Structure formats: C-alpha cells, structure tokens
Amino acid sequence: MTTRDAFTTGSSAGGSNDIATGGSALPETMRAARRVVYGTAADVIVAAAPRPEPAPGEVLIRVAAAGLDRATLHLLDGRPLAVRLALGLRRPRQTALGQQVAGEVVTIGDDVTTLAIGDRVCGTAIGSFADYAIAKPRTLARIPHGVSDPTAATLGVSGATAHQALVAGQVGPGQHVLIIGASGAVGTYAVQLAAHLGAHVTAVCSAGKIDLVKGLGAQRAFDYRAASLADTCGGDQPAYDVIIGLGGNRRLRDLRFVLAPEGRLILAGGEEGGPLLGGIERNLYAAIANVFTCQHLAGIFSAPTTEKLTTLVEVVAQAGIEPPVDRLVGLDGLPAGIEAMQRGELRGHVVVVP
C-alpha cells in the first residue's frame, strides 16, 4: 500500500483530485520557489508546482515558516565552483530551494514510526520555500510549547551550526569566546547561546551591527573593517579560550596568535575564499596544523539529527532565546531577502511564511 493510499479517504464529491491526509484534504498543487540555472535572486521562480508525496521513510510537512540561510545563496550561484561536483556541473540537479523548516506533519510515508500526523516539527527539509516540503524524520525534532514558528524555522541549519560549533569548542561559563561573523544567521545564535552558557563573548561584525550583537549578549564588539584580531586582544582581554570562525577568511596564524595555548578554534564558515574552494581549504590546513600544536584546530560541517535538534530546541525554549528577525516575507519576498543577505544588509533572519 502506498502512503497516499494509506491516507486517502477516496475521491471527494465533484471529482476533485484532492486527497485526504490525517482527516484534512490536501491540494494537489502548491506554490514553491525554485530555480533551473545557476544564477542570482533574479533567477528564482515562484510558481505553482505539484505537491510532493513522501516516499517510504519520509514525511510531508505543511510549511509554517522557512528560514533563509547562506547555503541557499551557494545553491543559487553554484559557488564555490567545487560544490557543482555535488550539485550538477552545468545545471543544478535539485531545483527546489530552501532547507530550514518549521511546520506540521501532514502525511507520513511507510516505515515512519517516530513521527505522527499533526506533530509540530522543525529541522531540515528539501525545498522548504514552498507550501509543502518533504523531510526525513532523522533531520527533524518536535517543537516544544513556547517556541514560535519563525524561531523554529531558523534552527535547522543556522541554530544547529552555532550549537554544534559551541559544543565542539566546549564553551562553558567564564570562558572568553571570540565569534567572528557574529551578526549573521549563525553568528547571532552563537552569541545568544554562548552568552546563555555564561561565556564572555567578544563579537566581530560590521560597524552598523555592533549594537545588534551587544543586544544579544556580546560584552565587546569590533568592526572587522577597523580592528585587527590583535586589536581585540591584549590589555584586560586575555587570549581567547575559544574562537568560532563564521565570517571573513582570516589566516590561521592570525587566529592562532589570539588563541590561548590550549584554546579551541572552530571554523564553520567564511565567504572570502577563492572561486574554486571558497576558503574551505582553511579547514584542511587547520586539521594538519592541529597535529602539531596543543591548540585544538578544527572545521565543522553542520549535521543536524533529531537528537541534536531536540537538545537545541529545548535549550532555546528554556532560555527563551529568540533570534533577531529582519523580515518575515511571503514566497514572493524571497528574492529581495536573498539580495539583502548578499549585500550584508540584514539585521537578523529572513523568514519565509508561505
């Protein structure tokens, strides 16, 4: 029996093609954002599309909110070029856009035992910039009471990456933590979560967002155009116990210079690398240098799981963390949101409410 069969209550009166899932009719079509070529925000198409059906082991989510993150920009322009080895050399194989999601499970595929129709979930789903999106249960967690859809919609990648970086950095009370790229989608979570853990947070961002990151819990903040890393350290400020790298592409030796002798450097991102590798090679250099030093140097890649997301969403609920939201937009507002992210204009997340 197919999933659709399992939840279909039969053709509705009047010959409609709507099917029923968990007691409520679902439309055959939906609105969705996609692209068919590598390009810019101008190549994003918002149009009608068939509503997807979950395969065995998948669920269908009615999207309540979907957070924009940097990966969408990389998927759009296919840069750094190395990502095209996975995405498609000439054209993107996956046309659907969006990966962070919050919403309600409306159909479950065969073999899904951990989620039920009606569950409110967050995490990652392919093509979340749409009315409906397909997800694997292992990349979803239930949303506890008190966490809003826009907040939950930014946890799957942005919140999860920040949390993973802080866990890898073993951030704890009283530690001095430097967050480079503190005003972005990941960085704002990193500041809030590190401050919640009782760390002393120093933030690096653009001058116009220093007030933003201080409002989120950073005790000190520096403009990356005006201050070097060495400027942020020294005097009353000891070397950092932990550095989280999310923006720019500072040299490993400069980062290590302001890191304590047994400090931890966690590289999660940065947008100023070359066209082929985009700076990811720095992670490789860090892994090599790590062998020869007492400092811990590592790169991370976000890999959200139900367990990690559940831990994160519970921390967010208990601490009352709410990420800054620059704008809530409908699907038609996505291209403008992408352009604003590219121009560095955002003061918080872009959340799509389809």
Ligand X SMILES: NC(=O)c1ccc[n+]([C@@H]2O[C@H](COP(=O)([O-])OP(=O)(O)OC[C@H]3O[C@@H](n4cnc5c(N)ncnc54)[C@H](OP(=O)(O)O)[C@@H]3O)[C@@H](O)[C@H]2O)c1
**Closest CA relative to residue 44, chosen from 333, 341, 340:** 333
Q: Tell how strand 100-108 and strand 59-67 pair up.
A: antiparallel
Q: Least Å distance between CB 49 and ligand X?
A: 26
Per-residue CA distances from 261 to 59, 67, 230, 265 (Å): 47, 38, 15, 11
Site string for ligand X, 143-162 (x = CB under 6 A): --------------xx--x-
Residues 23-62 that bind ligand X (CB under 6 A): none
Per the structure block, which two tokens stand in for 144? 């506890």
- Interacting stretch for ligand X, rule CB under 6 A, among 4-12, 77-85, 169-177, 244-252? 244-252
Site string for ligand X, 299-328 (x = CB under 6 A): -xxx--------------------------
Q: What angle do CA 59, 61, 63 make, to 5 degrees?
A: 160
C-beta of 111 vs 231, nearer to ligand X: 231
Q: Least Å distance between CB 215 and ligand X?
A: 14
d(Cα 25, Cα 21) in Å, to the nearest integer?
6
Residues 70-99 that bind ligand X (CB under 6 A): 70
Evaluate whether 295 touches 262 at the Cβ level (below 8 Å): yes
Site string for ligand X, 212-241 (x = CB under 6 A): ------------x-----------------
Site string for ligand X, 331-350 (x = CB under 6 A): ----------x--x------
Q: Least Å distance between CB 270 and ligand X?
A: 5
d(Cα 80, Cα 28) in Å, to the nearest integer?
36
C-beta of 52 vs 67, nearer to ligand X: 67
Q: Least Å distance between CB 96 and ligand X?
A: 18
Query: Which one of residues 115, 134, 268, 351 is an interface residue with ligand X (CB under 6 A)?
Result: 268
**Closest CA relative to residue 181, chosen from 213, 227, 141:** 213
Per the structure block, which two tokens stand in for 281? 């090679």
d(Cα 344, Cα 347) in Å, to the nearest integer?
9
- Interacting stretch for ligand X, rule CB under 6 A, among 36-44, 98-106, 123-131, 204-212? 204-212
- Interacting stretch for ligand X, rule CB under 6 A, among 28-36, 75-83, 179-187, 290-298? 179-187
**Which distant-in-sequence residues (6+ apart) come within 8 Å of 337 by Cβ?**
68, 327, 329, 346, 350, 352
Q: Which residue has the tokens 């930014």?
A: 154
What is the Cβ-side half-sphere exposure of residue 29, based on CA atoms within 13 angstroms? 6
Q: Least Å distance between CB 119 and ligand X?
A: 25
Q: Does 297 bind ligand X (CB under 6 A)?
A: no
Q: Does 183 bind ligand X (CB under 6 A)?
A: yes
What is the Cβ-side half-sphere exposure of residue 152, based on CA atoms within 13 angstroms? 26
Q: Site size for ligand X, by CB under 6 A?
A: 31
Query: Which one of residues 34, 64, 67, 69 is an interface residue with ligand X (CB under 6 A)?
Result: 69
Q: Least Å distance between CB 168 and ligand X?
A: 11
Q: Which residue has the tokens 């095209």?
A: 84
Q: Does 204 bind ligand X (CB under 6 A)?
A: yes
Q: What is the DSSP letter of 117?
A: T
Is the four-CA dihedral 166, 170, 174, 177 of positive or negative sign? negative
Q: Least Å distance between CB 56 and ligand X?
A: 28
Evaluate whether 335 touches 41 at the Cβ level (below 8 Å): yes
- Interacting stretch for ligand X, rule CB under 6 A, among 6-14, 15-23, 182-190, 305-313? 182-190
Q: Does 180 bind ligand X (CB under 6 A)?
A: yes
Evaluate whether 282 touches 249 at the Cβ level (below 8 Å): yes
Footprint on this chain of ligand X (rule: CB under 6 A): 69-70, 157-158, 161, 180-187, 204-206, 209, 224, 246-248, 268-272, 300-302, 341, 344
